[in-house]
Amino acid sequence: MNIILIGPPGVGKGTQAKNIIKRYQVPHISTGEILRENIKKQTKLGIHAKTFMDMGKLVPDYDVLGMVSRRLADDDCFHGFVFDGFPRTIPQADGLSKLLSNTDKRLDRVIVLKASDEIIIKRLSSRRSCNNCGRIYNLLFNSPKNDNKCDVCGEELTQREDDKPETIKKRLDIYRLQTEPLINYYEKLDLTVFINGESDINNISEEIFQILDEID
Ligand code: ADP
Ligand code: ADP
Ligand code: ZN
C-alpha cells in the first residue's frame, strides 16, 4: 500500500497517518518528523534545515529528496508506506516518481484533506506533541488525560517552534503557492481522493479506511 497524504499544515495528516499505520502495518514517513529528529541530534542536515523550518519556509528539494531516497531503501518500506508532508513541491513529486519507478513501485492513492484557514489556525495554535513517542495532542480538540503530559509515556508535551501565529500564516501561504498545485498533478494521474478534514478524527479515519480497504 503506497499512499500520500496531502493537505495544509494542521489539517490532520500526522494524526490520520498514525491511525492508518495501526490498521495496515506500513511505515509512516513524515519528512517533518525526520527533519525534527535531525535537528534534535544536531546533524548537518538538521542544522541546515532548521534555518528554513524556523521561518516556515520549505527545506530545499535536494535535501528532502536525498532523505526520502535513503528512507525508502529501508526494509520496512518493502510492502508500502504512508507519506505525510511529502511531496510538497512539483520537483519533489517528480523525484518521488523516479524513485518509485526505479524499484518498480507505484502510488495507490493520494488522499487530499481539506479544512478552512480558520479551523487550521485554531488547531495549530493549540497543537502539542510528545517529543519522546511522537503522539500528537490538541489542547482544544484532543487533550491529554493529565495536564500537559503524554498519555502513553508521561513525557512533558511541547509546542512546536513553527506553530506560532506569524509562522503559521507564512506556512499556509507557502502551502497554497507550492504544495496545492500537486493536487492537480495527481488528479491528472487519477490518484486523488478528497476528504473533509473538518469532521472529527475518528470519522475521518473511517472514511480513509473505506478507501484504503479497496486497494488490493
Ligand atoms: P505540518 O505537519 O504542520 O504540515 P511538517 O511536520 O510536515 O508540518 O513540516 C514542518 C516543516 O518541515 C515545514 O514547514 C518545512 O519547513 C519542513 N518540511 C517538512 N517536509 C518537507 C518537505 N517535503 N519539503 C520541504 N520542507 C519540508
Ligand atoms: P498535520 O500533520 O496536518 O500538520 P496534525 O495531525 O498534527 O496535522 O494535527 C494538527 C492539530 O489538530 C493537532 O493538535 C491534532 O491533535 C489536531 N487535530 C487533528 N485532526 C483533527 C480533527 N479532525 N479535529 C480536531 N482536531 C484535530
Ligand atoms: Zn509520549
Question: Could you read off the pLDDT of 14-29 as tens digits, one per residue?
Answer: 999 999 999 999 999 9
* CA 102 to ligand 2 centroid distance, Å: 34
pLDDT at 206: 98
pLDDT at 86: 98
Residues with CB under 6 A from ligand 2: 7, 9-15, 123, 127, 136-138, 141-142, 200-201, 204
pLDDT in tens, 118-138: 999 999 999 999 989 989 999
Alpha helices, H only, the chain: 13-24, 31-40, 44-54, 61-72, 90-102, 117-125, 165-174, 181-188, 201-213
Give the Cα separation of 157 and 138 in Å (integer): 10
Nearest alpha-carbon partner for 11 in 103, 116, 140: 116
- Residues (pLDDT < 50) of the chain are none
Instruction: Please say whether the beta carbons of 96 and 67 come within 8 A.
Output: no
Hey, what's the cell of 87? Answer: 511531496
67: left (phi over 0), alpha (psi -120 to 50) or beta: alpha
Instruction: Please say whether the beta carbons of 177 and 169 come within 8 A.
Output: no
Going by their DSSP bridges, the two strands 81-84 and 2-6 should be labelled as parallel
pLDDT at 166: 87
pTM for the structure as a whole: 0.95
Hey, what's the cell of 46? Answer: 538538521
From the number of C-beta atoms within 10 Å of its C-beta (0-12, 13-18, 19+), residue 216 rates as exposed
Q: Which of the ligands is closest to the CA of residue 173?
A: 1
pLDDT at 190: 97
* CA 188 to ligand 2 centroid distance, Å: 28
Which residue has its alpha carbon closest to ligand 2 atom 13? 127
